[in-house]
Amino acid sequence: MKALILVGGFGTRLRPLTLSVPKPLVEFANKPMILHQIEALRAVGVTEIVLAINYQPEVMLNFLKEFEAKLGITITCSQETEPLGTAGPLALARDKLVDESGEPFFVLNSDVISEYPFKEMIEFHKAHGGEASIVVTKVDEPSKYGVVVMEESTGQNRTEADLDREEVFPKIAAEKKLYAMVLPGFWMDIGQPRDYITGLRLYLDSLRKKASTKLSTGSHIVGNVLVHETAKIGEGCLIGPDVAIGPGCVVESGVRLSRCTVMRGVRIKKHACISSSIIGWHSTVGQWARVENMTILGEDVHVCDEIYSNGGVVLPHKEIKSSILKPEIVM
């Protein structure tokens, strides 16, 4: 089987992290976003993956080379010269996706995290015999995503009002060949910081139910916490809930972390407190510093001792010597 992953463009919503790497390579729960999807696809027998991309394809392919060999899959790019929505990349990649086998193929967005029920999808798709299946989920704010009207008993779609896909799905729905499967478990588009933090909570909650041995335990841990085996945690820390600490990180004594991601190579100095924030690669947070309210530190940012950041968005390679008292971008 084959899959098309819609990677898209510049990842502006996740800046300043995407100033260092393309969005699908930004780590989520200590693994590049796109790798969560690639591993789940491989587990159901997908052997060829096409990335629909219009920005830095060579960076993506070079990074994913080691995983091609490790997972036994082929990863290629279908490059858009301009953004093409959803139908465009499908048409562009037609020759890579369609062959004599007649096997269905998957299409997914690179910044969506879920439990990826691909096995159930294949069974659902083959059972109804229609042309296409989409996975749907209930959200609090449908205006952000579009709406599907479906027959509850069969999953057959009557209309599909997601403007991003207005070229494809309404036509198939009109022919009564489009079916919707309600997603089991959680779903989150993690393409912007607030949703990334929410997505981490949902992902760790799911991990607790499915593979709780991957989560950290101990008197210093509260709730669900993921700590890379190469990270070092000092005495008297309190970590959690909903925290991911990446490889090579050093968390000194007396540190408090909650609802945050600390990426590879970060050092958090004594008695710092971080909540609802993302700390980019190889950054430093000084002693007694307080970092909160959706503060996003880009790569190699250094927050000095006793600094307060209230929602600061800091571009890479900066030193923060004075407090950020209200949400702002530090260039």
CATH number, domain containing residue 152 = 3.90.550.10
Q: Which pLDDT belongs to residue 290?
A: 97
CB 272 within 8 A of CB 290: yes
Q: Are residues 214 and 169 in the same domain?
A: no
If you average pLDDT over residues 71-99, what whole number do you get?
A: 72
Q: Quote the CA–CA distance of 35 and 29 in Å, as a whole number.
A: 11
Task: Specify whether 103 is located in the same domain as 69.
Answer: yes
d(CA 206, CA 204): 5
Please name which of 134, 144, 228, 148 lies closest in space to residue 189, comparing C-alpha atoms. 144
Please state the φ and ψ torsions of residue 312, each to the nearest 5 degrees. Answer: -75, 140
115 pLDDT exceeds 70?
yes
For the entire predicted model, the pTM comes to: 0.86
pLDDT at 28: 93
257 and 176 Cβ atoms separated by less than 8 Å: no
What phi-psi label fits residue 315: left (phi over 0), alpha (psi between -120 and 50 degrees) or beta?
beta
Query: Are 174 and 256 in a shared domain?
Result: no
Quick check: 110 pLDDT over 90?
Answer: no
183 and 212 in a single domain? The answer is: no
Better-scored residue on pLDDT, 177 or 32 = 32
Amino acid identity of residue 147, one-letter, is V
Q: How confident is the model at residue 20 (pLDDT cuts 50, 70, 90)?
A: confident
Res 163 pLDDT > 50: no
CATH of the domain at 245: 2.160.10.10
pLDDT, tens digit (0-9, with 9 covering 90-100), for 216-242: 999 999 999 999 999 999 999 999 899
Per-residue pLDDT, 226: 95
Secondary structure of the chain in HEC code, one letter for each residue: CEEEEEEECCCHHHCCHHHCCCHHHCEECCEEHHHHHHHHHHHCCCCEEEEEECCCHHHHHHHHHHHHHHHCCEEEEEECCCCCCCHHHHHHCHHHHCCCCCCCEEEEECCEEECCCHHHHHHHHHHHCCCEEEEECCCCCHHHCCCEEECCCCCEEEEECCHHHCCCHHHHHHCCCEEEEECCCCEEECCCHHHHHHHHHHHHHHHHHHCHHHCCCCCCECCCEEECCCCEECCCCEECCCEEECCCCEECCCCEEEEEEECCCCEECCCCEEEEEEECCCCEECCCCEEECCCEECCCCEECCCCEEECEEECCCCEECCCECCCEEEC
Token pair belonging to 254 = 């007396």
Residues of the domain holding 202 = 196-329
The domain boundary residue, chosen from 126, 155, 189? 189
Q: Which of 295, 298, 294, 269 is nearest to 284 (CA)?
A: 269
CA distances (Å), 104 to each of 33, 131, 203, 286, 309, in order?
A: 24, 9, 28, 52, 49
pLDDT band at 103 (very low <50, low <70, confident <90, very high): confident
173 and 225 co-located in one domain:
no
Mean pLDDT across the chain, nearest whole number?
Answer: 85
Same structural domain, 155 and 214: no
**Distance of alpha carbon 227 from alpha carbon 67, whole angstroms:** 22
Give the total number of structural domains in the chain: 2
Best mean pLDDT range from 6-15, 181-190, 225-234: 225-234
In this prediction, residue 255 carries a pLDDT of 96
Do 167 and 39 share a structural domain?
yes
Instruction: Report the pLDDT averaged over residues 140-153.
Output: 71
**Cα 116 to Cα 127: distance, rounded to the nearest angstrom:** 19
User: Other CB atoms closer than 10 Å to residue 94's CB: what's the count?
Assistant: 11
136 and 204 both lie in a single domain: no
